[in-house]
Amino acid sequence: MSHYNPAEVQEYWQQVWAAEGVYECPDDADDPTYVLGMFPYTSGSLHMGHVRNYAITDAYARYRRMSGDDVLHPMGWDAFGLPAENAAYDRDTDPESWTRTCIDRMKDELRTMGFGYDWSREITTCDPDYYRWNQWLFARLYEEGLVEKAGATVNWCPDCETVLADAQVSEVEADQADDHDHGTTEVCWRCETPVERRELDQWFFTITDYAEELYQGLDDLGGWPDSVRDIQRNWIGRREGAEITFAVDGGGVADRAVETFTTRLDTVYGATFLAVSPGHDLAAELADGDEAVAAYVDEMRGTDPEDADASGVETAATATHPLTGEELPVYVAAYVLDDVGTGAVMGVPAHNERDHAFAVEHDLPVEAVVEPLGDDESPLPDAPFTGDGMLTNSGEYDGLASEAARERLRDHDAVTESVTYRLRDWLISRQRYWGTPIPVVDCPDCGHVLVPDEDLPVELPEYVQTTGNPLAANEDFVETTCPDCGGPAERETDTMDTFVDSSWYFLRYLSPDLDSAPFDSETADEWLPVDVYVGGEEHAVLHLLYIRFFTRALADIGLLDRREPVERLINQGTVLHSGQKMSKSKGNAIAPHEYGAETTRLFVLAAAHPRQDFEWTVKDVSNVYDFQQTCYGMVQDFRSRESVRTESTDHDAYLEREIDRTIAAVTDEYERFRFHRVITELQTFARLLRRYRGYEAPYKYAYARGLRTLATLLAPIAPYLAEEMWHGLEEEAPVAGADWPTPLQDVPDYRIERELIRTTLADVRDITDVVDIDDPDAIEIVVAQDWKHRAYGIARDANPDDAVVGQILDDDRVGDRRDAAGEYAADLAERVAELEPIVAADRELETLEQAAWLFEDEFGADVTVRQAGDGDDLAAKARPNKPAIHIE
Q: What is the contact surface with Zn ion in residues (CB under 5 A)?
A: 157, 159-160, 188, 191, 193
540 binds, among Zn ion, ligand ANZ, none (CB under 5 to 8 A by kind): none
State the amino acid at position 610 in one-letter form. P
380 binds, among ligand ANZ, Zn ion, none (CB under 5 to 8 A by kind): none
d(Cα 725, Cα 636) in Å, to the nearest integer? 8
267 binds, among ligand ANZ, Zn ion, none (CB under 5 to 8 A by kind): ligand ANZ
Burial of 579 (0-12, 13-18, 19+ CB in 10 A): exposed
- To the nearest whole angstrom, how small is the minimum distance from the Cβ of residue 84 to Zn ion? 18
- To the nearest whole angstrom, how small is the minimum distance from the Cβ of residue 162 to Zn ion? 7
Q: Which stretch binds ligand ANZ (CB under 6 A): 145-153, 332-340, 607-615, 734-742?
A: 332-340
Closest CA to 540 of 238, 221, 239: 221
- To the nearest whole angstrom, how small is the minimum distance from the Cβ of residue 680 to ligand ANZ? 47
351 binds, among Zn ion, ligand ANZ, none (CB under 5 to 8 A by kind): ligand ANZ
263 binds, among ligand ANZ, Zn ion, none (CB under 5 to 8 A by kind): ligand ANZ
Closest CA to 69 of 737, 762, 683: 737
* Of residues 370 and 756, the one with the C-beta less far from ligand ANZ: 370
* Of residues 191 and 803, the one with the C-beta less far from Zn ion: 191
Q: Which stretch binds ligand ANZ (CB under 6 A): 187-195, 342-350, 689-697, 815-823?
A: 342-350
- To the nearest whole angstrom, how small is the minimum distance from the Cβ of residue 317 to ligand ANZ? 18
- Backbone φ, ψ for residue 177 (5° rounding): -125, 165
Cβ neighbours of 74 (radius 10 Å):
26
Q: How many residues bind ligand ANZ (CB under 6 A)?
A: 17
188 binds, among ligand ANZ, Zn ion, none (CB under 5 to 8 A by kind): Zn ion
- Backbone φ, ψ for residue 621 (5° rounding): -60, -40
195-234 mask for ligand ANZ (x: CB under 6 A)?
----------------------------------------
131 binds, among ligand ANZ, Zn ion, none (CB under 5 to 8 A by kind): none
262 binds, among Zn ion, ligand ANZ, none (CB under 5 to 8 A by kind): ligand ANZ
- Backbone φ, ψ for residue 861 (5° rounding): -120, 160
d(Cα 654, Cα 847) in Å, to the nearest integer? 8
Strand partners, 275: 331, 345
* Of residues 121 and 351, the one with the C-beta less far from ligand ANZ: 351
Cβ neighbours of 311 (radius 10 Å):
19
d(Cα 17, Cα 812) in Å, to the nearest integer? 67
The residues near 369 (Cβ < 8 Å, ≥ 6 apart) are 266, 267, 268, 269, 270, 348, 350, 351, 391, 392, 393, 394
- To the nearest whole angstrom, how small is the minimum distance from the Cβ of residue 341 to ligand ANZ? 3
* Of residues 206 and 272, the one with the C-beta less far from ligand ANZ: 272
In what helix (H) or strand (E) does residue 214 lie, and over which residues does it extend? helix 211-217
Q: Segment 344-403, which members bind ligand ANZ (CB under 6 A)?
A: 345-346, 348, 351-352
Determine if 708 is a binding residue for ligand ANZ (CB under 6 A): no
Could you say which of 107, 238, 239, 886 contacts ligand ANZ (CB under 6 A)? 239
- To the nearest whole angstrom, how small is the minimum distance from the Cβ of residue 325 to ligand ANZ? 19
Cis peptide before 837 (omega within 30 of 0): no
* Of residues 193 and 521, the one with the C-beta less far from Zn ion: 193
User: Helix count (H) and strand count (E) of the chain?
Assistant: 28, 33
- To the nearest whole angstrom, how small is the minimum distance from the Cβ of residue 90 to Zn ion? 16
Q: Which stretch binds ligand ANZ (CB under 6 A): 4-12, 343-351, 394-402, 524-532?
A: 343-351
Q: Segment 253-282, which members bind ligand ANZ (CB under 6 A)?
A: 261-264, 267, 277
102 binds, among ligand ANZ, Zn ion, none (CB under 5 to 8 A by kind): none
Determine if 336 is a binding residue for ligand ANZ (CB under 6 A): yes
* Of residues 297 and 336, the one with the C-beta less far from ligand ANZ: 336
As a whole number of Å, the CA-based R_g of the chain is 37
d(Cα 661, Cα 659) in Å, to the nearest integer? 5
Residues 273/330, Cβ–Cβ less than 8 Å: yes
Cβ neighbours of 386 (radius 10 Å):
16
- Backbone φ, ψ for residue 690 (5° rounding): -65, -40
Residues 823/875, Cβ–Cβ less than 8 Å: no
239 binds, among Zn ion, ligand ANZ, none (CB under 5 to 8 A by kind): ligand ANZ
In SS3 terms, 694-712 reads as HHCCCEHHHHHHHHHHHHH
- To the nearest whole angstrom, how small is the minimum distance from the Cβ of residue 433 to Zn ion? 15
d(Cα 185, Cα 174) in Å, to the nearest integer? 5
713 binds, among Zn ion, ligand ANZ, none (CB under 5 to 8 A by kind): none
Burial of 588 (0-12, 13-18, 19+ CB in 10 A): middle
Cis peptide before 278 (omega within 30 of 0): no
Determine if 337 is a binding residue for ligand ANZ (CB under 6 A): yes
Q: Regarding beta strands 370-371 and 147-157, do their DSSP bridges make them parallel or antiparallel, or are they unpaired?
A: unpaired
- To the nearest whole angstrom, how small is the minimum distance from the Cβ of residue 718 to Zn ion? 50
d(Cα 250, Cα 316) in Å, to the nearest integer? 6
Burial of 37 (0-12, 13-18, 19+ CB in 10 A): buried
d(Cα 570, Cα 564) in Å, to the nearest integer? 16
- To the nearest whole angstrom, how small is the minimum distance from the Cβ of residue 467 to Zn ion? 8
* Of residues 15 and 324, the one with the C-beta less far from ligand ANZ: 324
Q: Segment 496-535, which members bind ligand ANZ (CB under 6 A)?
A: none
825 binds, among Zn ion, ligand ANZ, none (CB under 5 to 8 A by kind): none
- CA torsion, ordered 73, 75, 506, 232, to nearest 10 deg: 100
Determine if 341 is a binding residue for ligand ANZ (CB under 6 A): yes
d(Cα 611, Cα 572) in Å, to the nearest integer? 5
* Of residues 336 and 718, the one with the C-beta less far from ligand ANZ: 336
* Of residues 157 and 851, the one with the C-beta less far from Zn ion: 157
* Of residues 194 and 573, the one with the C-beta less far from Zn ion: 194
134 binds, among ligand ANZ, Zn ion, none (CB under 5 to 8 A by kind): none
- To the nearest whole angstrom, how small is the minimum distance from the Cβ of residue 250 to ligand ANZ? 22
Q: Segment 569-588, which members bind ligand ANZ (CB under 6 A)?
A: none
Closest CA to 4 of 732, 730, 721: 721
Determine if 757 is a binding residue for ligand ANZ (CB under 6 A): no
* Of residues 337 and 744, the one with the C-beta less far from ligand ANZ: 337
* Of residues 306 and 396, the one with the C-beta less far from ligand ANZ: 306
* Of residues 73 and 356, the one with the C-beta less far from ligand ANZ: 356
Read out DSSP for 39-60? PPB--SS--HHHHHHHHHHHHH
Taking the alpha carbons of 721, 723, 724, 729 in that order, is the dihedral positive or negative? positive
191 binds, among ligand ANZ, Zn ion, none (CB under 5 to 8 A by kind): Zn ion
Closest CA to 676 of 576, 608, 575, 616: 608
Q: Which stretch binds ligand ANZ (CB under 6 A): 11-19, 155-163, 291-299, 341-349?
A: 341-349
* Of residues 122 and 159, the one with the C-beta less far from Zn ion: 159
* Of residues 168 and 352, the one with the C-beta less far from ligand ANZ: 352
List residues binding ligand ANZ (CB under 6 A).
Answer: 239, 261-264, 267, 277, 336-337, 340-341, 343, 345-346, 348, 351-352
